Amino acid sequence: MTDVLRLDRVSKTFVLHLRGSISLPVVHDVTFTVAAGQCTVLGGPSGAGKSSILKMVYGNYRTDTGRILVRDADEWVDVAQAAPRHMLALRNRTIGYVSQFLRVIPRVTTLDIVIDAALGTCEEPETQARAILRHLAIPERLWNLPPATFSGGEQQRVNIARGFIADRRLLLLDEPTASLDRRNRDAVMELVREKKRYGTAVLAIFHDAEVRNELADTIVDVTEFAAEKTTTPAAL
């Protein structure tokens, strides 16, 4: 199988400058790959560094050491070294991300949010947007309303629709089913399966053990890459 993502000896430490430059090591020498059509799940307890790894792959967090290689068309891009402009372009065409929180422009309707995410990545974006909103049980009466006043579960489903509708080679999922009932959890699981069939590489965090065990082709135990958890001033 063709690798889409490679992490090679990636490490991350946070430095709290407002707390006397206390150093908080998170992960050390993280090394694994994710192949096309495969779902790799990050496992381990809360605080192990799972979300930090996702955010480093997406370029929201910088790495201290190591390489994060993403296959973009026929070349590899090292996210750890990519310039901001290059990183934005990579997100537009190669990396999708579904976080735990919906962040959108106020007053933009739900349908327009999902259509906008599909532009340039699929044919008939409005048709596709309507189909995925139906799949995720977002009532049609809400489509022309902004999602700011929706329930937490409805907002998360809009978030999922926006993340899944785009055609991306690599899809990052941070607890996409955490606030969903069983019916909608199963709908999201089917979307993940569809992405795998299409050949998308998926890197995910799932709180639900049943979801994790059902979808994961590989589980990476993040505790294997645990950094020393003592807190020491960086200057010492």
Query: At how many degrees (to 10) do helices 110-118 and 152-165 cross?
Result: 20
Predicted TM-score (pTM) of this structure: 0.90
| Alpha carbons 183 and 38: distance in angstroms, whole number | 24
Check pLDDT > 90 for residue 199.
yes
pLDDT of 99 reads: 85
Q: What is the pLDDT of residues 119-153, one digit of tens each?
A: 877 789 999 999 999 999 999 999 999 998 888 88
List b or e across 94-107, with b for residues whose CB sees 16 or more CB atoms inside 10 angstroms: bbbbbbeebebeee
CA angle 158, 195, 60 (to 5 degrees): 60
- How far apart are alpha carbons 165 and 191 in whole angstroms? 9
Decide: residue 113, CB within 10 A, 0-12 exposed, 13-18 middle, 19+ buried. Answer: buried
| Per-residue pLDDT at 229 | 52
Q: What is the pLDDT of residues 57-76, one digit of tens each?
A: 999 999 999 999 999 988 99
Give tens-digit pLDDT for 153-193.
888 999 999 999 999 999 999 999 987 899 999 999 999 99
pLDDT at position 234, please?
42
What structural domains and CATH numbers belong to the chain? Answer: 3-233 (3.40.50.300)
Q: What three-state secondary structure class fits 134?
A: helix
